[in-house]
Structure 1
Amino acid sequence: MSWNPMPIEELWILLSQSDSPSLLKKFLTLELYNKLKDKKTLRGGTLANCINTGCLHFRNNAGIYACDPEAYTVFEEIFNKVIKEYHKIESLCHPEPYYGTEEEIAALGNIDPEGKMVISTRVRVARSHTKYPFIPACTLEDLLNMENDTVTALKTLTGELAGQYYPLARMDKATEAQLVADHYLFRHDDITLRDAGLYKYWDTGRGIFYNEDQTFLCWVNEEDHIRLISLQKGGDLAAVYKRLVKAIHEMEDRMTFARRDGYGYLTFCATNLGTTLRASVLMAIPNVSKQANFDDFLAKHNIQSRGTRGFGSAVEDGVHDLSNKHRLGLTEYEAVKEMLNGVLAIKKWEEELAGMKKNA
């Protein structure tokens, strides 16, 4: 399946006549639209490529995606406004990577040593090859070459990171369904990502790498070129994060990833720049999640909540996917700490409410 956006004039009419709450609608004025509509990146990326899905699906928060790394420069007058507003920063001055010392990582500890609330913990980062565009601007050959470059590097990993690569194109449907059900494998059923060009040439050049214990994964050409993921059952955040940091360093020894001053690591999604790090727990909070001020509490602690099965899914039995909201303007270690502090506050609140309910 190839992909082409709608004509820019039609997209503008849809957006301008809508009541979309997106940041794209907020910042793309007629004057700015006229200034950017005919510009192109060196790879032929256009404003239409970047805003297609935001003009078709108004629930999209940001409403804009980068078709290739250069889009952040060519269309920076709209991207910078959206990025600053979404990440709540006044200037684009992302710090250099900092993952924490061995002592700092160990101090993250176990969020739920009693094993009463936290079902699993995962931390992931996204990375983009410097020599390839993002998927919406990729050719079929690009996808295959990216897959080959990534898998070649992954196959050199040793110790607990060593594993096998399973290309999606050769995966039987039963295995694919089971990996999706186990929260290991990505899906391709999100219409906003489809209309952003993410599913072009599906399932060519895509797959998953994982170690024997399935505690380290790498998604190849899902949303970003690479998603490095560390996960395990329970709440041992220190162990999960330590494994991910090791994987990041190992992969960065083997290939070069796209970065830009002020932006940090470059990704397809403007909401995922900077550290690109998302630290999360799958956590049962049936009492807290029923409180009228639950959303305000999350916002206060810079925590995002997703459904039980991740982005776009429903909450089942009070089980939420809780993660850090901020990825830009802070270090990797600070992002993990922000998630930890927020989740510990939620855990304490859940314990208090459960105790009150028990004693009532």
Structure 2
Amino acid sequence: MNYPNFPDDCNSLLSKYLTPEVFDALKNKKTSNGFTLGQAINSGVKNLDSGIGVYAGDQESYSVFAALFDPIIEEYHGFRKEDAHKSNLNPEDLNAPNPDPEGLYIISTRIRVGRNVDHMPLGPGISKEQRDQVESSVVEGLYTLEGELAGKYYPLLGMSKEVQDSLIKDHFLFKEGDRFLDAAGLNRNWPEGRGIYHNNDKTFLVWVNEEDQLRIISMQKGGDIKEVFTRLVSAIKSIETKVSFAYSDHLGYITSCPTNLGTAMRASVHIALPNLAKDMEAFKKITDAYHLQIRGIHGEHSQSEDGVYDISNRRRLGITEVEAVQDMYDGVVALIEAEKALSEVRH
């Protein structure tokens, strides 16, 4: 394997930190699952417009290729290799009465976490047999869910057109991964070993073996952020009785993309802010103050429609889950206040 040449206009963190010296030190190393540097960097080498450009193939990748991963993690999360991560999934510690009880601004709330099964390679490094094994143990865990979380698992393999259409209509179905995930090795053996679970109320969803082995998602219409968080936590605890998740005291919950490490949580609302949308500087000033990210309503790299935005926490590592959701909540309260003030000025 030769050192990749990155063009001058490539801005990925991979191109910044994979110096020839780092490359030489790591190029012949492998994790005990046989995952190599070439596999870790393939996505960023093939996709020069990547923001990050690296994926881990197992928990060990973060130590074996630390000379590359550590500076990327430090730049992205502001989290140093001597720092420790703490988890707190106690909904009682979250101060979040509904900020929009009349439903004038918040359309929906969604909180998701990524999880991977302990002692198993991650998606980029997993074998077909291991992926199938993950699916069967996760599904066993999902069928322990009771009450409002009870539901059904739909494997992607052999899924009927009717089920497919209805899941697409609800925005539940994940499609084959994009080119970034493809180059990372995450689309191998598609669609085998993959599927979707959702409860009967369609307020709770688990993606099995997409980017991470589990994407656990709680969601509902409106702005009751605490209710969404509480449902998510009770599901995580129930699944954990059957499946243990990969976790480290340094990096928190282990994920294949280093941007999701730590809480592995994205807490978001779809919110209508038509007045603030006309003053992006004021908008960004608020979101920056609360460490929030602004996206269009169809996720990353999409545009807003009718002044509706997807607002989520930016920080994941080195803060607790409660702090991540609190950031989002406090920022949303500030955004609603600013939007109200602007509508009064304009009337």
Counterparts of 1:210 and 1:167, CA distance in 2: 12
Where does residue 129 of structure 2 map in the other structure? 141
Q: Extract unaligned runs of 5+ from structure 1.
A: 1-7
Query: Helix, strand or coil: the match of 1:13?
Result: coil
Check 1:45–1:212 CA distance in 2 against 1; reply closer, same or farther (3 A cut). Answer: same
Aligned-pair CA distance for 1:347: 1.7
Where does residue 155 of structure 2 map in the other structure? 167
Q: Extract unaligned runs of 5+ from structure 2.
A: none
Tell me whether 1:113 sits opposite 2:104 in the alignment.
Answer: no
2:66 to 61, 76, 82: 76
Backbone CA RMSD of aligned residues: 1.7
State the percentage of identical aligned residues.
Answer: 44
Q: Output aligned runs, 1:1-360, within 5 Å.
A: 8-9=1-2, 12-15=3-6, 17-100=7-90, 102=92, 104-105=93-94, 107-293=95-281, 294-357=283-346, 359=347
Counterparts of 1:65 and 1:301, CA distance in 2: 28
Query: Helix, strand or coil: the match of 1:200?
Result: coil
1:7-37 alpha-carbon deviations (Å, 9 max, x no partner): x42xx3332x342111111211111111111
Check 1:183–1:354 CA distance in 2 against 1; reply closer, same or farther (3 A cut). Answer: farther
Counterparts of 1:94 and 1:172, CA distance in 2: 46
Is the 8 Å Cα contact of residues 122 and 231 (structure 1) preserved in structure 2?
A: yes
Aligned AA for 1:52? N
Check 1:177–1:308 CA distance in 2 against 1; reply closer, same or farther (3 A cut). Answer: farther
Is the 8 Å Cα contact of residues 68 and 133 (structure 1) preserved in structure 2?
A: yes
Check 1:212–1:129 CA distance in 2 against 1; reply closer, same or farther (3 A cut). Answer: same
Aligned-pair CA distance for 1:165: 0.2
Check 1:341–1:156 CA distance in 2 against 1; reply closer, same or farther (3 A cut). Answer: same
Aligned AA for 1:168? L
Aligned-pair CA distance for 1:189: 4.8
Is the 8 Å Cα contact of residues 92 and 329 (structure 1) preserved in structure 2?
A: no
1:176-230 alpha-carbon deviations (Å, 9 max, x no partner): 2442342222222521111111111111010111110011111100110011111
Aligned AA for 2:27? K
Counterparts of 2:145 and 2:293, CA distance in 1: 32
Tell me the TM-score normalized by structure 2: 0.94
Aligned-pair CA distance for 1:174: 4.5
Aligned AA for 1:334? E
Aligned-pair CA distance for 1:286: 2.2
Aligned AA for 2:322? Y
Counterparts of 1:178 and 1:296, CA distance in 2: 39
Aligned AA for 2:25? K
Counterparts of 2:305 and 2:8, CA distance in 1: 33
Check 1:353–1:92 CA distance in 2 against 1; reply closer, same or farther (3 A cut). Answer: farther
Counterparts of 1:14 and 1:295, CA distance in 2: 35
Counterparts of 1:88 and 1:181, CA distance in 2: 39
Aligned-pair CA distance for 1:92: 4.6
Aligned-pair CA distance for 1:101: 5.1
1:135-165 alpha-carbon deviations (Å, 9 max, x no partner): 1212111111111010011111111111100
Counterparts of 2:327 and 2:318, CA distance in 1: 13
Counterparts of 2:140 and 2:177, CA distance in 1: 28
Counterparts of 2:81 and 2:341, CA distance in 1: 39
Aligned AA for 2:307? G
Aligned-pair CA distance for 1:290: 2.9
Counterparts of 1:156 and 1:114, CA distance in 2: 36
Is the 8 Å Cα contact of residues 74 and 81 (structure 2) preserved in structure 1?
A: yes
